[in-house]
Each structure stands twice: as structure tokens, then as C-alpha cells.
Structure 1
């Protein structure tokens, strides 16, 4: 069965999605919706339609929503009313209430809804999750992420929490298979924009793992690092290069009786894993295509998971105001 698919929104991500859809096996890329006068008549040989009803009349099995976040609820509603499955770029909506409304709309219509948290499909994090599940690290003590870089001109309607930290919120819960039970944050506004551009956040997961997230748009280099520390060692994932390195706890004999009870660690062997490096966006598209075909949503980010990320992100934004000590 060949699925008919389209893209709504032709910004940076919309163009990436169009490129992948144009050559995705089992999918016919029908066209793109974008009302802007600045876009041309075609992309990847497919038409760019400026009227939404005219676009939807082309007939789709599923669509990719890559429009600005503020339009996700309206566009998602139109797709649900037409019986069209949707993969919606992150954050799934501007507010928790809108995200829950989208989730409930698609559930009531019996449609597959997914969220574009692409880091889940990064080879380094995919491999990390498998190895954690296999017990490589034992109990997970801490997950620390660093996501820093220059300001991306494509972002206009959300701050660094919903644009970037949403990745870390989702991947931390997913790779550890835990849920956040508490979060605290500090934010800053340094670039003169309405929205926050720096974040330091900490959280606790339901099995006792602690998490920390350093995120900003004000660093003159890109950093995308996740460090997962457990009782047997640590995994370091660089999602820019899709590298995964394992640092094993060393084993030494301590003959000093006074400190023999101290449960510290020493440096052990280091292994850099050889990984199959499939493009994360392609892997995300393949997973969503298969979910539409089979109804199995276990390999995609669901609308319920996406709504939970927005809920946590909003709590971080509320908590970001500092309080002076008396």
C-alpha cells in the first residue's frame, strides 16, 4: 500500500521533511501547503499550495505539520476533521491545554498522532537506550544534558525551553524509561527577545535518577551532549556526531581499612561503540509511516508524550524566576 503524504509549512524543517518524503519508500509525496508569498510554486517537483482547503482536497493519508507552533492546534484540528493522521513538529503545541486538546481530538477520531522529537531517533541515543535496558550501567544515577549554540533565526514564537530543552526533557525520560516527578529551573533573557534564551534546570525522575539540563542560544559553538551515569559506569552520547562512548568503572583493591567502606569509583576501560548512522529524520519518517500502516505507536513519540513535554516545559518556565534569600 502506498500512502499519500504532504507537508504543512515550508520553513527550514518543512524543507527537510519535504526532502525525506520525496524519496521515502511506500509513500507518495503529494505536495506542500504554505500561504507565504515568498515561497515558489514547487519543491522537490511537487506543488506548493497557498490555500489550506485546496491543499487538503488533494487527499492525504497523513501529513507533517512544520508550521510555527502557534498554528499547530488549528492545523491539527483541520487534519483531524478530515481523518488525516499527523506528525507534528515539536513542541506539539504552544500550551499544555492546546496539546491535550490535540491529543484528545486525534484519539477520538481514531487517528495516529506523533510528535517530531527527533533526538529519539539519533543513533547514539538509540544505542544508549538499548544498552541501558540490557543493564550495561546498572541503576541509573544521573542524566546530564548540554544543548548550547547560537540563536537560530528560524525561531520566532517560543523560547529556548520549548524549542531546545523540550528535546532534553523527552530524551531523558525516554532513554531512562522513567517519568519526571519534580523540576526546578533558572532562566535568563540576555538577547532582548520576549522569550528566555538561557536555562539551567534540574529534575528528579520516578526511580530516583536526578537530571540536569544546560540549554542556551548564546554560545558561539554547538554542543549536544548527554551523559548518563550509573552504578557500573557512564555513557556519553554526542548527538552532533552520533557517537556513543562507554566509560566503565575501574576495579581496584583497597587495603586501607579506614577508607575501605567508601563507595567511590575509579577510571576503567573506555569503549567507543561502532554504530550504524542512519539519518535521524529518515528514521523518524520510517517509524511514523509504519505506525500509520500498522497502528503500532510504540516506536513513535505519541501526542500524549508530547503534551507531557509541554507541561514540564511550562513548569520550568514558571519556575525560572529567581527568589532572593532573606
Structure 2
């Protein structure tokens, strides 16, 4: 079977990695790259840099990846849908829920694969975590907490830390727990002189009763990417920067002082660091997108799922503006 002809819109900080991976995935042939800003990282190779989305479509591509700033996602995606091109857009799906709805409808109506690049779902630590939670290794899950913080990335100018980074945590939390958010409450702050928030603290509840907490910012000198799942049997800690997963089991030591046993709670038990295959998440994401286009079973993140995540993020930002919990 001939390889799928692939196009890439945007070769900035994220697009350059897409270019590298797309060239190395079986069944995909990167034939066209477009970026009105040129090729700042020199990733085009022998391919010419096309000026716009129209010229990318004219190259006759079967699928495309959109890695331009969020504010341009809708325009590019709608044009690709109209041209019959299966498309993966970087997260978040769009700059607004209304735009995301239009994009989702366009791909659904055209019978095309529309996907969103929520890459954390393909992180090996989170995939292993989801599998172990599903098989009951944590028992009943009580809480999922995430910390995603670090210095300000110069690449972001059109959205705040909520849509750029917290969207990762909201999506991965619902995915790991296999349950949607039903409410969210948040606080934000603006410290870097930009019109968008650069710090958000959000709490929520999932439909299955799990409570969530997310600390996300662009104001920290150290970089953290942690997901902590606490359940009746202990706590999993996933470090998505390194792909490591650790389990801290509840202790089972007997307590001889019975009069305080009711107040003791859990104790520290064995700590296990798991060994498992660690493939590059972006490569796994592209393979899932390819398989979806070919009609094979796939774990690709659909536009419907990406839209749901954006709805939760916007609900969190609304909560911060109104100082009220938002029911989703």
C-alpha cells in the first residue's frame, strides 16, 4: 500500500519535532511543509517552504498536522476539512469552544479523522498508570493531583497558561480516570505583564467522584511535570518529564496501641519503581493518527475529546473571573 501523503503547517518550536517524527513513521511520507514565517529551525530539508495553507492543500496531501499558534487553528482546520484532508491540530483544539465546535462539526460532517495533539496520553508513564488503575492496583481512586510548572516559554503569545498547559492536565486526568469533569473551581493571576494568565490553581470533581487538583504556572524557575493518583491501596507518582512511574503502597504494620488506631490513617509501605518500554510520545501519537486515517483501531484523541477538554479549561477560567464553582 502506498504511503499516506502528509503535510505540515508550522515548523516552529513544536512543528520542528513533528517534521522529524513524520519523516520516520512507517506509512507516512512528508511531502509538503508550509509556514509563512519561513523555516527558522532548518527542518525542511529538500522540501520548499510553502507560504500558506492553500498551497499545502494544493500539494495533494491525504493528512495534515497543524502546528501554528492556537488562534489560527480554526481557519486552517476548516480549509483542510473542506479539502477532504484528515487533520491533527496541536492542543488546545481552538482558541474558543465555539471555534472548536465548528471544527468538530466540519470533520464529522465530512467523514474525516479530526484529532487533537494531547500528547500526554501517549506518555509511557501515564499509559502504564492508566493500565494499572484500570486493573485495580490503586483500589478505589480518591484524588488525582498534578503539578506542571516552569519558566515562561517564549513560543506562546496568544493564549494563557490555562489553555496552553492546564489543558494537558485536565485531559490526562479525565483520560487516566476514564471519567469526565462535572465541576471545576479555579484561581488565576497575572504577573508577567501579558494580557493572559500565567498561573492557575484549579480543583474539580469527576463524574466517578474523584476529586482533582492542578497547579500550573509559567513563573517557576524549576520544571515539574508530575501526576499523583491517591487511592485506597496507595499512591502512584508519574513523572512525565522522565517517563517514570512509582507506587507508594500503604503500610500494613500492626499497631499495638489500639486506643489511637482509629486516628492513625495509612502508613508508609513499600515503594516500587516500575520498568516498562518507553517510546517517544510524539511518535506513538503519529502512529495512532496514521492508524485512525487507515481505519485501524486507534487511541487517537478525537476532536470531540479535545473540545470537551477546552470546555473544562474555559469553565476554570470563568470560575476564576466570577469566584464561583462552574458546573460543566
Q: Quote the Cα distance in structure 1 between the aligned partners of 2:43 and 2:139.
A: 52
Name 1:268's counterpart in structure 2: 269
Secondary structure of 1:43's aligned partner: coil
Give the drift of 1:38: 6.4
Secondary structure class of the residue paired with 1:321: helix
In the TM superposition, residue 212 of structure 1 has moved relative to its aligned partner by 0.3
1:135 to 1:275, Cα distance in 2 relative to 1, 3 A: same
Classify 1:3/1:243 alpha carbon distance in 2 versus 1 (closer, same or farther; 3 Å).
same
Q: 1-side partners of 2:43 and 2:170: how far apart? A: 36
Cα distance between partner residues in 2 of 1:119 and 1:272: 20
CA contact (8 A) 2:39 2:49 kept: no
Matched with 1:312 is: 312
Q: Does 1:212 align with 2:200?
A: no
What corresponds to 1:111 in structure 2?
112
Please give the per-residue CA displacement for 1:236-261, whole angstroms capped at 9, x wherever unaligned. Answer: 00011110001111112234343344
Post-superposition offset of 1:134: 1.0
Kept in 2: contact 1:29–1:46 (CA 8 A): no
Structure 1 residue 80 and structure 2 residue 85: aligned? no
Q: Within 5 Å, give how 1:29-108 maps onto structure 2.
A: 29-36=30-37, 43-108=44-109
Instruction: Write out per-residue CA displacement over residues 129-175 of structure 1, whole angstroms, 9 at most, x where no aligned residue.
Output: 01111110011000010000000000010000000000000000000
Counterpart of 1:286 in 2: which secondary structure?
helix
For 2:253 and 2:70, locate their aligned partners in 1 and report how far apart those are by CA, in whole Å: 53
Q: How much has 1:23 moved relative to structure 2?
A: 1.5
Equivalent residue runs for 1:159-198 within 5 Å: 159-198=160-199
Contact 1:161–1:313, Cα closer than 8 Å, also in 2: yes
Report the TM-score, using the length of structure 1 for normalisation. 0.95
Q: Distance in 2 between matches of 1:296 and 1:303?
A: 17
Following superposition of structure 1 onto structure 2, how do residues 139-158 of structure 1 map, counting pairs within 5 Å?
A: 139-158=140-159
SS state at 2:48 partner: strand
Q: How far did 1:296 drift? A: 3.7
Deviates more, 1:312-321 or 1:88-97: 312-321
Deviations 1:175-204 (A, max 9, x none): 010111110000000000000000111001
Distance across 1 between alignment mates of 2:213 and 2:53: 41
- Residues 246 and 38 of structure 1, relative CA distance in 2, 3 Å threshold: closer
SS in 1 for 2:321: coil
- Provide the aligned C-alpha RMSD in A: 1.7
- How far apart, CA to CA, are the structure 2 residues paired with 1:53 and 1:7? 12
Q: Shift of residue 28 of structure 1?
A: 0.7
Change (3 A) 1:125 1:42: closer
Give secondary structure in 1 for the equivalent of 2:94.
Answer: coil
Question: Where in structure 1 are there 5+ consecutive unaligned residues?
Answer: none
Residues 138, 80 of structure 1: alpha-carbon distance in 2 compared, 3 angstrom cutoff: same
1:41 & 1:215 partners in 2: Cα distance?
32
Q: Return the alpha-carbon distance in structure 2 between the equivalents of residues 235 and 108 of structure 1.
A: 41
- Give me the whole-angstrom Cα distance separating, in 1, the residues matched to 2:99 and 2:147: 28
Aligned residues: 323
